Chains A and B, each alone.
Chain A
Amino acid sequence: MIVTSQKPLDEILDFLSPYRAVLLAGCDGCTQPPRGIREARTLGQIIELASRLRGKELSVSTTTVAKQCDSYLALTSLEPQTKDVEAVLTLACGLGVQTIAEVLPDVPVFPAQNTLFIGAERRETATLEERCAACGDCILEFTGGICPIARCPKSLLNGPCGGSANGKCEVDPEKDCVWDLIIKRLEKLDRLSVLEEIRPPRNFWQVARPGRVSE
């Protein structure tokens, strides 16, 4: 899922300062933690309160969209609710912000979140961890289902590097060396031989930006 973190309130209040009525839209899609109607209502109240402390009345109405990055869902759920507001503030990732900008060309839209990465949620430690770099050239079949592109700071295809020590990474000794994890896992699965083949450099043409796929 797409992992986001809330922008500082001051930043949000600054860009909302020209407006008196905004719609705060949650997203039930893949943002983690789920930034649905509860978060919209809670943040909406905090923004109203903070605005009042700055000496200004700002009214925040709230809603949520099943998936803001879907142009049809974004348009149909948000358009009827934007009649009485001057701007939309969204709890979605950067995709939601841009989808709204496209489907509602006359309404200014602002992000309440910074979009961080594609991450996995680890419930046991209550952490969200980057696991996929969306590189467009998946090699997980050779690496025991563990991605060195996203998780090795050097994105090495043939690791580990000389900086791996006691299973930890030289860049951040708090973190596991992902190549150490890959080797241990392949060993356990008795598939270590897949690493005998040297992986050639990645073909960066594979992911021409901006990406576009026809459904």
Chain B
Amino acid sequence: MEPVSSQPIVAVKIDEEHCSACSICSSVCPFEAIKKDPETGKILLEIEKCQTCGICYSSCPSHAIEAISYDMDSLAGYLEKAKQEYDSDSLVIMCKGSAPDFAEVEKLFGISSFVPLSVPCVGRIPGEILLRAISSLGMKKIYMLACDTDYCRYEKGSAVAGRRAAVLNLLLEQLGYGREVIEFRRNSLKVKVDRNKCIGCGNCAFFCPFDAAKLESGAAEIDLELCRGCGLCVTLCPALALELEHWEGERLSSSISRLSSEMRKPSILVMRCQWAAFPRPDEELDSSVRVIDLPCAARVDPMHITEALANGTDGVLIAACPEDDCRSETGSKESHRLVASLKKTLAQIGLEERVHFCSVAPRYPQTFYEELQQFKERIEGELSKEAGQ
């Protein structure tokens, strides 16, 4: 018998006992990770292909899929707590990809107080959670903010959520809750160019994985229809002429300086692709660790890493998706290259161990915490080495 501890914890599992083998999960899975075994008729999940989008979880009529992240119990638990904390009867459910910033949500929907729920893809929210928010928590209105359909990190997530909202609205209307109880919108974050700052070097046009950047009359231009907001061009722009909405350089700089000052020593700043690890909605990390979630590892800017170190942060951990999982094509790979090059410079002053690049995927939820723990031990080792000198 295999020892239990050698099996990695996986984020999604199929509970054979409850599964009715209806195949809905396999038809909604955007990544062909779920298939019906032609011989046994059983539904099988290939975890290596799974991107942990949760669309199968939210679509399963038999509750036969188990999800570790953002499962029904933790969502319901969070909502109950958040309802008291925010004291509002409006719930805003937003995809991290389209709305990382609450102020922007206020502007988009014209509301000033709301219970926020930020999730990786609104397609993973089961209809039951929406109904429970209305019937048991007394929510009067639910606003859902998804990404544009062609921008959805999980391909079908935004479309699935849109259909689900439409069906539930019909049901809620029939039940007498009124019209359009769920207001559904789409929004995507894109790169903007300051043509006055552009020096026409062509980095953006050469590196853009989506052919969205071009040089027009010697300066960069971004085709917003094609831009997927990974931020690679922004990180590679030598003139700081590009900005990614909501992850502007100055905004990240001020987060870094604020977080650097509030961390307990030895302090670790994690710059993480928001699709590489899924924290619990109410997760609290150790006070020596702070996380900046980014749209892709491609937006991990070496300039911000040095800024964190210069601000007194003891270590910077970069958590990216494995290259094969990266939804920005080359984002993870380019990020790895940029961090490696920065580490070479830092090696000249003995600080290369202070920065570490790791690949993690939410399908194995433990790996991020293991990497963090190892890095923490390494930083503690480095600091005691220095103190001993």
A-side residues, CB < 8 A to B, are: 6, 8-10, 26, 28, 33-39, 41-42, 45-46, 48-50, 53, 64, 66, 123
Contact = CB atoms under 8 A, between A and B. Distances in A.
B24 interface: no
Nearest to A8: B348
**In the complex, the 4 A-B pairs of residues with the closest C-beta atoms, listed nearest first:** A34-B238, A36-B238, A45-B306, A45-B310
Given A28-B239, A35-B238, A49-B309, A41 B345 contact: no
Interface of B: 199, 201, 203, 206, 237-240, 302-303, 306-307, 309-310, 342, 345-346, 348-351
A59 to B, nearest CB: 11
A53 B350 contact: yes
B150 to A, nearest CB: 28
A34 B349 contact: no
B352 to A, nearest CB: 12
A39 to B, nearest CB: 6
Contact of A49 (B199, B201, B349): B349
Nearest to A53: B349
Given A42-B302, A42-B303, A45-B307, A37 B349 contact: no
Given A42-B302, A46-B306, A33 B238 contact: yes
A33 B302 CA distance: 15
Contacts of A48: 310
A43 to B, nearest CB: 8
A35 B350 CA distance: 24
A10 B302 contact: no
Given A9-B349, A34-B238, A36-B240, 15 more contacts: A8-B348, A9-B345, A10-B348, A37-B238, A37-B239, A38-B238, A39-B238, A42-B302, A45-B306, A45-B310, A46-B349, A48-B310, A49-B306, A49-B349, A53-B350
A53 B310 CA distance: 11
Contacts of A50: 348-349
Contacts of A26: 238
